[in-house]
Amino acid sequence: MRLADLTQRAGEWLRGVGPMHDVVISSRIRLARNLAGVPFLSRCGTDQQREIEQRLREKILQAGIAREMFYVDVGAAGELDRQLLVERHLISRQHADADHPRGVAITADETAAIMVNEEDHLRMQILRSGLQLAEAMREIQHMDDLLEKHLDFAYHGQFGYLTACPTNVGTGMRVSVMLHLPALKMTGEIEKVFRAARDMRLAVRGLYGEGTEATGDFFQVSNQSTLGKTEEQIVEEFLSQMIPEFIEYERRARRALLDRQHRAIDDKVGRAHALLRAVKLISSEETMYLLSLLRMGVNLERITSVDLRAINELFLLTQPAHLQKMYKREMTAEQRAEARADLIRARLGGD
């Protein structure tokens, strides 16, 4: 398993076949952990950071987390490779851009990834398609248990796990769910959802672009604080109250649009489909926007000739680093716009 193999396929989480996939793109759980008796990363010199990185790398690969797991020395990786990992949601933008010794361990199916020396010594995540928080929870706890057999984590009897940033102290857990809410955006009800989320002390942000101006109609909902609740309580709240409510809002908005404005829906969706099959040049941003509409069209069964998986793969493969990896050369923005258009037309059976 090498990094280059990643561009040939989409990770499990993007297959788009998980539960509630008409609205829920993916579920993610992340745990922050730090080594006991070792300073937080920002307090270490480069030598100590390197030492931590090498030790953690070794322990992670010994822990038996998955049948196949590979490790990327992010500090030594080229810019394109780092960008590729960001685009696949395997490392954070900060982790890609930092300049100290650091890395990431990834399972072959990409559901699990462990960043070494990000803000904390360890940041592990499980990422799954659709609404699979319970499964993700089981897996990340299992991964945490396996690592604790080899490593001693900083833990405080009263506060819980200690983390570099106070907002992560406690469980050190962040739960996030990526939602596709095109109908709520179209009807303008998305603001209501944002207010409801804030009332539940959830953070909402657009996957591409910020806040309500997000392109692509994708929104990530996550918990704000990790202190004072158990891991199980946090996940339970997501599963029993918050997410079902958002799903129901969006489904209701889609039905209402179809009932009252099916022409407008067919127009928007049909235009997106036609454009994607005709473009000769297209930006990342417009791609996200059009694919998002097409995805809604397929989920609403207004378009039956396109496979959901093809759309989900295009979301991933049309990103800058993926394109350049696929074409095996560095490209300017304009060259990418060409290559992206060619790829989309080819996948969607365009001219």
Binding site for a copy of itself (CB under 8 A): 263-264, 266-267, 270-271, 273-275, 277-282, 338, 341, 351
Query: What minimum distance in Å lies between the beta carbon of 70 and a copy of itself?
Result: 38
The residue (of 69 and 348) whose beta carbon lies closer to a copy of itself is: 348
Give Cα separations from 115 to 60, 81, 345 (angstroms): 10, 15, 36
Question: Collapsing DSSP states into helix, strand and coil, what is residue 127?
Answer: strand
The residue (of 100 and 302) whose beta carbon lies closer to a copy of itself is: 302
The residue (of 58 and 267) whose beta carbon lies closer to a copy of itself is: 267
Going by C-alpha positions, the residue among 271, 98, 273, 248 that lies closest to residue 183 is 248
The residue (of 256 and 281) whose beta carbon lies closer to a copy of itself is: 281
The token duo for 97 is 């851009």
Going by C-alpha positions, the residue among 32, 50, 56 that lies closest to residue 154 is 32
Query: What minimum distance in Å lies between the beta carbon of 79 and a copy of itself?
Result: 26
Judge contact between 29 and 125, C-beta under 8 A: yes
**Count of residues making up the chain:** 351
- What distance in Å separates the CA atoms of residue 11 and residue 130, rounded to the nearest whole number? 13
Query: What minimum distance in Å lies between the beta carbon of 274 and a copy of itself?
Result: 4
The residue (of 142 and 271) whose beta carbon lies closer to a copy of itself is: 271
| Gap between the terminal Cα atoms of the chain | 36
Query: What minimum distance in Å lies between the beta carbon of 272 and a copy of itself?
Result: 9
Phi, psi angles (nearest 5°) of residue 195:
-65, -45
